[in-house]
């Protein structure tokens, strides 16, 4: 605490400091008011890998996502952050039509991937979900051997004709997921016997085994300890060289660490999107500022 003597020096100004802080009138970095729900920042990039335009999602009558337009750039990690129920996971699930599995869910708007709207009825979701893979919050390996966990997808998508090709895919995927050295001697053992962090990396290996272009991650580290988390984050940075990644996370530090761009969602609106560096040092919307600094609005 400040001592009495020190206080005496600062006393006069302290009363100033405690007075109303709304004196500043210049257009500082935070410009957008809490009530304004227009997206600020830079939601679009020059050569998007996936581009969503005016996406709305309804669960029965409930309007869960309002008119979200956002791009995923090539070889970038886009972090989506926001409080629970803000629609970030729902939006993520739109990107490979996982919401189709929810009966009450309706999605409108355009999501372009490889020049086609993925919501078009012509699109076959099975190859789509191979191209846009997903990693979930809780590691969910198949109740099969480690080898089969990886080989399964490659086999059903017809990526390997011979056993040796399959072996190559399994080894390559495990290596890229940073798991090979830990499991190479026990490929026939069940995947469920691995530790949580290893299981999650197995799931990532399984996703990349079918050569996706985009990987969606829904809180991939929230069930993991800090060491396993650090390994996954390291892996995400490595995978970025080959894939485009969108990650939903509750950890703002994680978003700051792994992503190049960040999107902040609030009650179904995309509030702000842009450079991770900008969002975390000089956000342009008051709501983003409130959330990342831990304030209530």
Partner 1 sequence: MNALDLNHHISEQYNTELEDLRNKVLAMGGLVEQQISDALEALENLDGELGENVVFTDHKVNAMEVKIDEQCSWIIARRQPTASDLRLLITIIKVITDLERIGDEAEKIGHMASMLSEMKGSTSYSQQDEIMYMGQEVRQMLHDTLDAFARLHSKDATRIAHRDEKVDRQYESILRKVMTYMMEDPRTITLNMNIIWVTRALERIGDHSKNICEYIIYMVEGRDVRHTNFVGLDGVTGREDS
Query: Residue 13 interacts with partner 1 (CB under 8 A)?
Result: yes
Can you tell me the distance from the alpha carbon of 91 to that of 95, in angstroms, rounded to the nearest whole number? 7
Q: Which of 29, 75, 104, 189 touches partner 1 by CB under 8 A? A: 29
Segment near partner 1 (CB under 8 A), from 40-48, 157-165, 210-218, 248-256?
248-256
Query: Residue 35 interacts with partner 1 (CB under 8 A)?
Result: no
Residue (17 or 103) nearer to partner 1, CB? 17
180: helix, coil or strand? helix
Segment near partner 1 (CB under 8 A), from 89-97, 148-156, 172-180, 288-296?
288-296
Segment near partner 1 (CB under 8 A), from 7-15, 42-50, 63-71, 264-272?
7-15
For partner 1 (CB under 8 A), the number of binding residues is 41
DSSP output for 192-236: GGS-HHHHHHHHHHHHHHT--SEEEEESTTTTS-HHHHHHHHHHH
* Under 8 Å between Cβ of 270 and 92: no
Task: State the nearest-atom distance from the C-beta of 149 to partner 1, in Å.
Answer: 36
Task: State the nearest-atom distance from the C-beta of 255 to partner 1, in Å.
Answer: 10
For residue 217, what are the β-bridge partners? Answer: 135, 247
Q: Which of 14, 114, 165, 234 touches partner 1 by CB under 8 A? A: 14
Query: Residue 6 interacts with partner 1 (CB under 8 A)?
Result: yes
Handedness of CA 229, 230, 231, 232 (dihedral sign): positive
Task: State the nearest-atom distance from the C-beta of 273 to partner 1, in Å.
Answer: 15
Can you tell me the distance from the alpha carbon of 160 to that of 134, in angstroms, rounded to the nearest whole number? 21
Residue from 284, 291, 269 nearest 55 by CA: 269
Ranges within 82-101 binding partner 1 (CB under 8 A): none
Segment near partner 1 (CB under 8 A), from 15-23, 75-83, 148-156, 227-235?
15-23
Can you tell me the distance from the alpha carbon of 40 to that of 292, in angstroms, rounded to the nearest whole number? 16
* Under 8 Å between Cβ of 259 and 277: no
Segment near partner 1 (CB under 8 A), from 98-106, 144-152, 262-270, 279-287?
279-287
Strand order across the beta sheet in which 105-113 lies: 62-73, 48-59, 105-113, 116-117
* Chain residues in the site for partner 1 (CB under 8 A): 1-2, 6-14, 16-17, 21-31, 33, 252-253, 256, 280-283, 286, 288-290, 292-296
């Amino acid at each position: 605490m400040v001592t009495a003597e020190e206080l005496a020096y600062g006393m006069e100004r302290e009363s100033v400091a405690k007075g109303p802080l709304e004196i500043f009138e210049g257009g500082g970095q935070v410009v957008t008011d809490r009530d304004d729900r227009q997206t600020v920042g830079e939601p679009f990039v020059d050569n998007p890998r996936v581009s969503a335009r005016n996406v709305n999602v309804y669960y029965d009558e409930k309007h869960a996502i309002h008119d979200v337009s956002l791009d995923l750039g090539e070889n970038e990690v886009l972090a989506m952050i926001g409080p629970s129920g803000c629609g970030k996971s729902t939006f993520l699930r739109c990107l490979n039509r996982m919401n189709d599995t929810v009966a009450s869910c309706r999605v409108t708007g355009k999501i372009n991937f490889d020049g086609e709207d993925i919501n078009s009825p012509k699109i076959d979701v099975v190859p789509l979900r191979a191209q846009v893979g997903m990693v979930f919050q809780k590691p969910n390996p198949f109740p099969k051997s480690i080898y089969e966990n990886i080989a399964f997808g490659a086999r059903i998508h017809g990526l390997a004709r011979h056993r040796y090709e399959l072996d190559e895919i399994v080894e390559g995927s495990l290596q890229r997921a940073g798991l090979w050295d830990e499991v190479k001697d026990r490929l026939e053992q069940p995947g469920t016997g691995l530790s949580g962090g290893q299981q999650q990396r197995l799931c990532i290996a399984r996703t990349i085994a079918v050569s996706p272009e985009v990987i969606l991650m829904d809180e991939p580290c929230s069930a993991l300890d800090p060491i396993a988390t650090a390994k996954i984050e390291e892996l995400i940075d490595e995978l970025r060289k080959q894939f485009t990644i969108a990650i939903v996370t509750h950890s703002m530090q994680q978003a700051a660490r792994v992503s190049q761009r960040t999107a902040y969602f609030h009650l179904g609106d995309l509030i702000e999107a842009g450079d991770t560096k900008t969002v975390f040092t000089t956000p342009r919307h008051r709501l983003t500022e409130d959330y990342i600094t831990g304030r209530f609005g």
